A and B are shown apart, each in its own frame.
Chain A
Amino acid sequence: MEKTWNNKAWFMVLPVLVLVAFSAVIPLMTVVNYSVQDTFGNNQFFWAGTSWFSDVLESDRFWDALTRNLAFSAIILAIEIPLGILIALNMPKKGLGVPVCLVLMSLPLLIPWNVVGTIWQVFGRVDIGLLGYTLAALGINYNYVNNVFDAWVTLIVMDVWHWTSLVVLLCYAGLVSIPDAYYQAAKIDGASRWSVFRYIQLPKMKRVLLIAFLLRFMDSFMIYTEPFVVTGGGPGNSTTFLSIDLVKMAIGQFDLGPAAALSLIYFLIILLLSWIFYTVMTNSDAKT
Chain B
Amino acid sequence: MARIDLDHIRHAYGPNPTSPSDYSLKEVHHEWNDGGAYALLGPSGCGKTTLLNIISGLLQPSEGRILFDGKDVTNLSTQERNIAQVFQFPVIYDTMTVYDNLAFPLRNRRVPETEVDRRVKEILEMIGLSDRAKKKAQGLTADQKQKISLGRGLVRSDVSAILFDEPLTVIDPHMKWVLRSQLKRLHRQFGFTMVYVTHDQTEALTFADKVVVMYDGEIVQIGTPAELFERPKHTFVGYFIGSPGMNVLPARIDGSSVDLDGEKIALSFAPKFTAGAKTELGIRPEFIRIGREGMPVTVSKVEDIGRQKIVRASFAGQPIAIVLHEDGEIPAEPRISFDPAAINIYADSWRVADSLPAGGEA
Residues of A within 8 A of B109 (CB): 190
Question: What is the CA–CA distance of A188 and B156 in the complex, to the nearest angstrom?
Answer: 11
CB < 8 Å neighbour of B89 from A181, A195, A203, A287: A181
Cross-chain contact B152 with A189 (CB below 8 angstroms): yes
Q: Residues of B within 8 Å of A, CB-based: how many?
A: 26
Least CB distance from A179 to B in Å reads 7
Is the CB of A66 closer than 8 A to any CB of chain B? Answer: no
Is the CB of B273 closer than 8 A to any CB of chain A? Answer: no
CB < 8 Å neighbour of B138 from A185, A190, A199, A288: A288
Cross-chain contact B79 with A187 (CB below 8 angstroms): yes
Is the CB of B56 closer than 8 A to any CB of chain A? Answer: yes
> Looking across the interface, which residue of chain A has its beta carbon closest to that of B77?
A187
Cross-chain contact A185 with B91 (CB below 8 angstroms): yes
> Looking across the interface, which residue of chain A has its beta carbon closest to that of B83?
A188
Is the CB of B251 closer than 8 A to any CB of chain A? Answer: no
Least CB distance from A148 to B in Å reads 42
Residues of B within 8 A of A188 (CB): 56, 58, 78-79, 83-85, 105, 153
Cross-chain contact B108 with A189 (CB below 8 angstroms): yes
Residues of B within 8 A of A195 (CB): 108
CB < 8 Å neighbour of A192 from B78, B84, B108: B108
Q: Residues of A within 8 Å of B, CB-based: how many?
A: 18
Residues of A within 8 A of B139 (CB): 288
Question: What is the CA–CA distance of A195 and B87 in the complex, to the nearest angstrom?
Answer: 19
Residues of A within 8 A of B84 (CB): 188
> Looking across the interface, which residue of chain A has its beta carbon closest to that of B159?
A188
Cross-chain contact A187 with B108 (CB below 8 angstroms): no
Given that A188-B56, A189-B152 are known contacts, is A199 also in contact with B96, CB under 8 Å in the complex?
A: yes
Is the CB of A184 closer than 8 A to any CB of chain B? Answer: yes
> Looking across the interface, which residue of chain B has its beta carbon closest to that of A288?
B138
Is the CB of A182 closer than 8 A to any CB of chain B? Answer: yes
Within 8 A of B (CB), among A162-189: 179, 181-182, 184-185, 187-189
Given that A199-B96, A203-B95 are known contacts, is A185 also in contact with B77, CB under 8 Å in the complex?
A: no
Least CB distance from B196 to A in Å reads 16
Is the CB of A31 closer than 8 A to any CB of chain B? Answer: no
Is the CB of B104 closer than 8 A to any CB of chain A? Answer: yes
Within 8 A of A (CB), among B95-110: 95-96, 104-105, 108-109
Is the CB of B293 closer than 8 A to any CB of chain A? Answer: no
Residues of B within 8 A of A32 (CB): none
Is the CB of B303 closer than 8 A to any CB of chain A? Answer: no
Least CB distance from A87 to B in Å reads 23
Within 8 A of B (CB), among A195-216: 195, 199-200, 203-204
Cross-chain contact B89 with A189 (CB below 8 angstroms): no
Is the CB of A280 closer than 8 A to any CB of chain B? Answer: no
Is the CB of A191 closer than 8 A to any CB of chain B? Answer: yes
Residues of B within 8 A of A200 (CB): 93
> Looking across the interface, which residue of chain A has its beta carbon closest to that of B93?
A199
Question: What is the CA–CA distance of A95 and B113 in the complex, to the nearest angstrom?
Answer: 43
Cross-chain contact A187 with B58 (CB below 8 angstroms): yes
Cross-chain contact A181 with B95 (CB below 8 angstroms): no
Cross-chain contact A184 with B85 (CB below 8 angstroms): yes
> Looking across the interface, which residue of chain B has its beta carbon closest to that of A185?
B91
Cross-chain contact B79 with A185 (CB below 8 angstroms): no
Interface string of A269-288 (1 = CB under 8 A from B): 00000000000000000011
Question: What is the CA–CA distance of A125 and B108 in the complex, to the nearest angstrom?
Answer: 53
CB < 8 Å neighbour of B79 from A181, A190, A287: A190
Residues of A within 8 A of B88 (CB): 181
Given that A181-B87, A184-B85, A288-B138 are known contacts, is A189 also in contact with B94, CB under 8 Å in the complex?
A: no
CB < 8 Å neighbour of A190 from B56, B105, B149: B105
Given that A187-B58, A187-B77 are known contacts, is A181 also in contact with B91, CB under 8 Å in the complex?
A: yes
Residues of B within 8 A of A187 (CB): 58, 77-79
16 contacts between A and B (CB under 8 A): A181-B87, A182-B91, A184-B87, A185-B85, A185-B91, A187-B77, A187-B79, A188-B56, A188-B78, A188-B83, A188-B153, A189-B105, A190-B109, A191-B108, A199-B93, A199-B104
Q: B interface vs A, CB < 8 Å?
A: 53, 56, 58, 77-79, 83-85, 87-89, 91, 93-96, 104-105, 108-109, 138-139, 149, 152-153
